Amino acid sequence: MVDRWRALGFGFFVHVLRFGVIVGALALAPLLGVSGWYVGLFANLVCVLLAVVLVTVRGLWRVSGLFLLSRGRTAALFLVPFILEVLLWVVPGGLVERPPGFGLWAVTLLLVGVNEELISRVVVLERMRRSFGPAGAVVLTGALFGLQHLSLFATTGRGVDDVLLNVLVSACYGIGLAAFQFRFRWVLPLILIHAAADFTTILSANPLSDPVVAITCVVFLATAALMLRPLIIGRPPSATASPPQRRSDAERAGAQLSPKRTTGGWRRR
């Protein structure tokens, strides 16, 4: 029980740390001569550096799956619902180019995908994996990912209802992605899909209605349940990641130690 509380405390601490880094970067940027759109880009770059440090200190690069091009057919099939959600925001109206243009949006949101996936689906999830079963680790990781979006109260002018709905949708999305990472340990496609999802949501000419977004949340949760079912009932799944390697000295040391989308309704960021 104590270990589980430590795992929760670690996950909470990491997300708070990321929020503190964002706030610090936003304050530091003007002092370095960074202004306008590039302030947000700078903050996300600093968050990527934080993610790299955390993954390195905890010795998680090998189990992250960042450098793998494939985990097999089953893993690829489970990515389909997330890819379809990306495309739903594009069809039929396409995308609208908003300042500062597609290029800078793409770079910034790719940095978001990198830092959020490495922090949530690698650093936090791997710690939860050690203390909880598949369902518990995935749900808690997703919930913490959703709750981190409460930071929108401090970083945007969005209303209470908007932010709370954003937290709920982000949690459902986070549970789906965490289930995939728990089973397959392949974060590379999650980074790309996450970045693409933010990109199409923000720049969509025809945003999805709230009922449709609610349906996508149900699909994410159902997909998560399907991915975890073989692990929960004890049958060997048809395709899973390799068992975790022996923890490095850095990870063992780390274990000893006690961190958008657009406005409107259900859309997450």
Q: CB of 14 within 8 A of CB of 123?
A: yes
Q: Where in the chain are the domains?
A: 2-256
188 or 245, which is more confident = 188
Question: Is pLDDT above 80 for 83?
Answer: yes
Question: Is pLDDT above 90 for 262?
Answer: no
Question: Is pLDDT above 80 for 129?
Answer: yes
- List the Cα angle 207/47/88 in 5-degree steps: 20
pLDDT at 46: 98
pLDDT at 153: 83
Task: Report the phi/psi class of residue 268: left, alpha or beta, with left for phi > 0 and alpha for psi in -120 to 50.
Answer: beta
Task: Pull the structure tokens for residue 158.
Answer: 């969005």
Q: Which residues are CB-contacts of 55 (< 8 A; sequence separation ≥ 6)?
A: 61, 64, 118, 122, 123
**Global pTM value:** 0.87
The model's pLDDT over 23-48, given as tens digits with 9 standing for 90+, comes to 999 999 999 999 998 999 999 999 99
Q: Which residues are CB-contacts of 133 (< 8 A; sequence separation ≥ 6)?
A: 232
Question: Is pLDDT above 90 for 156?
Answer: no
The model's pLDDT over 176-190, given as tens digits with 9 standing for 90+, comes to 999 999 999 999 999
Task: Please report which confidence band the pLDDT of residue 268 belongs to, taking 50, 70 and 90 as the band edges.
Answer: low
